[in-house]
Amino acid sequence: MGTIDEEIQKILNEIWLMFNRSSIVDNREIIEYIALLLLEIAGKKLLLLADFIPRRPRKPYNGQEEEIKEKLVEASRLAQGEGNLFDRYVLFHAFDSAQKESYPIPRHIERFMLNVLEIASEDTFADFTCGSGGFLVNRYVTNNTHTGTSVGIDISPEWVRIAAANVVLHNLSTETVQLYNGDAFILCHRNFAGTEFDRIAMAPPFGITIDERTARETMNVTNGRASELLFTSLALNKLKEGGRAIIMVPESLLTDKKSTMKLKRTILEKHTMRAVVLLGEGALYPFNHKNVGLLLLERDRQQTVHPWLFNVENDGYTRRRNRNITAEAASGNDLETITEVLRLREPDFWPIPRNDGNPDTTLFSVFPLHSTEQPSKVHFVIKVMEQAILTSIWRIEENKEGSENRHYFFAKASIPGQAVQYIALPLDKVDIQPTDIEHGEDDIAWLKTLDEKRTGVILFASNTPGQTVAILADGRLLGCTRTVEAIQTGNYNIRPVDYFNDLVQRQVLSDAQLQKTQQPTSQRVQPEVDESGVETRSDIAESLGEEGSALDSLNTIKRLHNQIRQRADYLLGQLETRPFVDLPPRVCDLSSLTLPHHLGNQQDTIWKAIKQFVDPEGHALYFTQYQLLQKLEEKDVVKVQHTLEILTRMGVLVHVHINHSDKGVVNCYRLPTEHDQVSLGESLSSKEERI
């Protein structure tokens, strides 16, 4: 005996076979007849008007109706109701890729679209291409307290009859859910001329030519003849001020094609685009192979909002053509996380103080999304204050034997005119304290242990003020925000993956890589590098030779240029070979150097500890941040990091990377020596003038 899902599928296979033996092979015709039989079984056939009652097959039928009814009764029992059997199983049983223009939308995608709309109980709702009525029904299934009216329109009389049966089988009245058969543009003009809706959800047909004259004369919609363009314009036209709409569109509408420019300009200039969700290849399998996306829009003209751009890789199902979308979606999928992210409100973020003496200023805010099924899985949303520039993010999971996993968040950002700010904090507590980190061993060995498990991920962002990013527990970048101005200057291109090129995912391999990463790994291309860390010519040529638009090629060139620049920056002057015979040169004369007017009391204490890293002969000794902390009574990690950076900028401390025979590249500091090319006195005097 199989699972309930398998038993239901077995019964439906038997029913379909009975129809096929009677030469009834049209799936929509079979579904309509099953809808009629289910209405009779539930005793609800008389609740529908004559025009909305599903019809029997047009071909002669061999009269196995009672046997089919018995099977449907058993399937309804297993599915816990006729409505659930029809909407979840029957509608999706035998459709395949042959029906490209007429198929139901997978219900997990419809539920996601309804969830992010955040429909209130009394809201009016509309779907102008309602098909099987999935949006109309699931609005009330997900929240049975809703009382607002819903309107569904479809040009196909067969689909309207199927939608009507779906509504009644879910115990919904035809007054609450109003269905209309006909041209949506004509009906909106004739029946809803003065009506606007609070919420609209649509998955219009793609690539269908619509009478442009009808759209223009009835609803003043003028955006070409393609169905996806005109129906999106219709939704915006009928949306109430302050209302919200979510529309499924082909990925081609999101790119910078001239045919879509007018519509995207209208969206960005006259509405608020809350999010673009790219569902990725295979989202509509087994019905359609097209790549599709979702537009979440509001009619309020608040252009200060930074739209979210999401790239879905895991919707809870496999992306194979034979995937079973009648089963429950796997928990912890991208759609669940995006729903939480889009529902976040500012007070929900954890503010992280900058530790600069001003408790009212916040550089970072973090919101963790804990998985209910897997408590160890934590997703993160990181927000940077408006005037800051996010430069890097690290997420590290420490896994020691005999102890619970601890997640650490390391972030780095800068504010124009100020020093770079570093934040390090554990993410297993609600009460965030940047000084809670306790390693029990030196930094390098701790990170090296993590490296062996390959648990760390770094994300580098371009200079985008006020950026927010969403990171999954495995380190994958799920989404980021962009300013409306950046999208407009980008030729109105709103395809998320094109903006992800600026956020490069990297593996944490050594402590030095936390400061200067040697081998960045692109999310889309993972280049091989030679011993010097430079990408091989063949790989660069292969990257540039991929099929794609001119914009894709330019993005690839930009990414490769950034990688080469970063590696050159690392190799030129950042790497110091640790001597094994000769000690470093003697330290410069620091006897006359005093910095009390530049440093606070705690910083002066740190400076005095640093000056102890000199051997009896006066040679500079290399030291790590952890070794410095051991000399201090008050072990404030953030304050030490901040002070080290200040002293480095003042020229009284040198930040280097050491090639260690056992530990590899190690991040170290030392006092300036006689062989340093820059004169310490000149450097200090020039620094004093600027301070």
Q: Report whether pLDDT(551) > 70.
A: no
pLDDT in tens, 375-386: 556 677 777 766
Using CA atoms in the order 660, 664, 669, 670, what is the torsion angle rounded to 10 degrees?
10
Q: How much is the average pLDDT of 408-424?
A: 59
Query: What average pLDDT is seen over the chain?
Result: 73
- pLDDT above 80: residue 518: no
Query: In terms of CATH, what superfamily is 107-342?
Result: Vaccinia Virus protein VP39 (3.40.50.150)
Query: What is the structure's pLDDT at 135?
Result: 96
Report the CATH fold assignment for 576-690.
Answer: Arc Repressor Mutant, subunit A (1.10.10)
Rounded average pLDDT over 602-631: 84
* Arithmetic mean of pLDDT, 218-238: 84
Q: Where are the domains of the chain?
A: 4-92, 107-342, 346-524, 576-690
Q: What percent of the chain has pLDDT over 70?
A: 63
> Average pLDDT, stretch 620-626?
84
- Comparing 544 with 643, which gets the higher pLDDT? 643
> Most confidently modeled of 192-201, 396-405, 502-511?
192-201
What does the pLDDT look like over 195-221, one tens digit per residue?
Answer: 999 999 999 988 788 777 888 888 777
Q: DSSP assignment, residue 106?
A: P
Q: How many Å apart are CA 341 and CA 345, to the nearest integer?
A: 9
Query: Can you give the pLDDT at residue 191?
Result: 92
Provide, for the chain, the percentages of residues in helix, strand and coil under a 3-state DSSP scheme, each rounded to the nearest 5.
35, 20, 45
Q: 24 and 59 in contact (C-beta within 8 Å)?
A: yes
Selection from 641, 251, 292 nearest residue 443 by Cα: 641
| pLDDT at position 74 | 96
Report H helices in 287-375.
Answer: 334-342
Is the pLDDT reported for residue 333 higher than 70?
A: yes
In contact, 147 and 365? CB cutoff 8 Å: no
pLDDT at 72: 95
Q: What's the pTM value of the predicted model, to 2 decimals?
A: 0.66
Of 539, 534, 530, which is closest to residue 571 (Cα–Cα)? 534
Rg (CA), the chain: 31
**Confidence tier at 131 by pLDDT (50, 70, 90):** very high
If one compares 374 and 360, the residue with the highest pLDDT of the two is: 374
Domains 107-342 and 576-690 alike in fold: no
Longest Cα–Cα distance in the chain: 107
The answer to whether the CB of 643 falls within 8 A of the CB of 611 is no
Give the span between the Cα atoms of 636 and 629, in whole angstroms: 8
Q: Of 178, 180, 200, 198, which Cα lies nearest the Cα of 189?
A: 180
Return the residue matching tokens 């569904």. Answer: 152
Tokens of 213: 């004259």
pLDDT digits (tens, 9 = 90+) for 144-187: 788 899 999 999 999 999 999 999 999 998 889 999 999 999 99
The answer to whether 491 and 426 have CB atoms below 8 angstroms apart is: no
Task: Please calculate the CA angle 600-603-606 and round it to the nearest 5 degrees.
Answer: 155
Average pLDDT estimate for 35-53:
89
The per-residue pLDDT for range 426-447, each reduced to its tens digit, is 544 323 223 233 444 444 343 3
Residue 504 pLDDT more than 90? no
Please list, in sequence order, all residues whose beta carbon lies within 8 angstroms of the beta carbon of residue 318, skipping any fewer than 6 positions away.
Answer: none
Which residue, 409, 393, 410, 413, is CA-closest to 463?
413
Beta-sheet pairing, 150-154 with 177-181: parallel
